[in-house]
Chains A and B, each alone.
Chain A
Amino acid sequence: MHRTGELYGQYKTLEQQKETATLGMWVFLVTEILFFGGMFLTYAINRHEYPTAFGVGGNMLDLNLGFANTVVLIASSFTMAMSVWSAQTSNKKLVPIFLIFTLILGIVFLGVKVVEYKQKFDHHLIPGHGFDITYCSKQPAAVCGISEEDHAKEITEIKEGIEADGGLVALNAHAQLYFSLYFGMTGLHALHMIVGAGLLVWLILESRKGRFDANYNTPVENIGLYWHFVDIVWIFLFPLLYLINRHLA
């Protein structure tokens, strides 16, 4: 473990060291843009091909939970930014506090995600042999834990979807594309959150030693960049996954 802001052997100045780390982080984030980009492309093509099934699938997500999670994540980005500010202004006590807030919000986000996944699991919406887009519409509303009103809407939507998509088999197949992308994209995003949470834990432990101040705050700043990037991904995932066809509902 090296001391606060120690100069590594390959650099000549601390400034060079910091500049290098920042550039490295940004270049890494560019790779992340293209990494998620491949998934966004897959989403775009499939949604373009099957708007009906994607609409039906999107309306099966819980808008309230999605909205709440977006707010939580944006708030966590704010607290992360504040921890960078605390470090930059040498408020050594505040750094871990804001970081802990960020971590808590991140964990809340992941918790909500777990609830949502569990719900989809119960509703037979995991792609594969057991997938059944009509599962909830065939059950009494209480079994799926949704309101009578939503249940009625879902039944109409599926009926219309079957008509528009050329049959139940087709709708069921195409909706699996939607849910594959839903789980793929949010899963990958959640994985990034978990990595971020791990980094935050390390950062909190380090910052409690008072390591980060105006002279040396590269780790806070770079992990912050990563955290904001993960936030940005969600900013796109939320409308693309949750809001596709809300105007029909």
Chain B
Amino acid sequence: MSENGHQEHVVSPKLYATILAALLFGTWLTVQAAKIDLGRWNIVLALLIATIKMSLVILFFMHGKYSSRRTQLVIVSGFFWLAIMLGLTMTDYSTRKPEPSRSANPPAIAIHRA
């Protein structure tokens, strides 16, 4: 059918084991990193490590590295749309003025039925 019928790629168990080790190391690392106080960078670092771990899983366990261009495009577009959703929503929250109604004492301002 389409021109890019790809040859199936067999990943060696050795590489799988390496990835497993890397993932376990990443898990250990993220716990250690969380115990150091980096202020707002804690979350950035945690997400960075998680993203690297995810990339390893996708590229090797899920054969993303060896997939056809089309499949890779599908994967990328999934994350691209996720970025659109997160990013454009953030434009609202990051530029909003603080609202008095959303701080302090929530139940007191909860809307009651008439």
Contact = CB atoms under 8 A, between A and B. Distances in A.
- Check A-B contact in the complex, CB < 8 A: yes
Contacts of A247: 34-38, 42
Interface in B1-41: 1-2, 5, 8, 10-13, 16-17, 19-20, 23-24, 27, 30-31, 34-38
B91 to A, nearest CB: 12
A77 B61 contact: yes
Contact of B70 (A23, A74, A248): A23
A37 B85 contact: yes
Given A30-B74, A169-B107, A246-B35, A40 B30 contact: no
A221 to B, nearest CB: 8
Main secondary structure, interface of B, reads: helix
Interface in B78-114: 78-79, 81-82, 85-86, 89-90, 93, 102-107
A49 B102 contact: yes
B11 to A, nearest CB: 7
A104 interface: no
Interface stretch (A82-90, A116-124, A130-138): A82-90
A75 B27 contact: no
Interface stretch (A141-149, A197-205, A235-243): A235-243
A126 B27 CA distance: 28
A169 B106 contact: yes
A193 B57 CA distance: 17
| B-side interface size class | 35 or more
Contact of A170 (B2, B35, B61, B104): B104
A81 B104 contact: no
Nearest to A42: B89
Nearest to B46: A239
Interface residues of A, number: 58
B79 A236 contact: no
Contact of B85 (A13, A34, A244): A34
B57 A70 contact: no
Interface string B45-67: 01101100110011011100001
Interface of B: 1-2, 5, 8, 10-13, 16-17, 19-20, 23-24, 27, 30-31, 34-38, 42-43, 46-47, 49-50, 53-54, 57-58, 60-62, 67, 70-71, 74-75, 77-79, 81-82, 85-86, 89-90, 93, 102-107
Interface of A: 12-13, 15-16, 19, 22-23, 26-27, 29-30, 33-34, 37-38, 40-41, 44-45, 48-49, 63, 67, 70-71, 74-75, 77-78, 80-82, 85, 88-89, 166-167, 169-170, 173-174, 214, 224-225, 228-229, 231-232, 235-236, 238-240, 243-244, 246-248
26 contacts: A12-B1, A19-B2, A23-B74, A29-B75, A30-B77, A34-B81, A34-B82, A38-B85, A40-B82, A41-B86, A41-B89, A45-B89, A45-B93, A67-B31, A75-B20, A77-B20, A85-B12, A89-B10, A173-B107, A214-B8, A238-B27, A240-B46, A246-B35, A247-B38, A247-B42, A248-B37
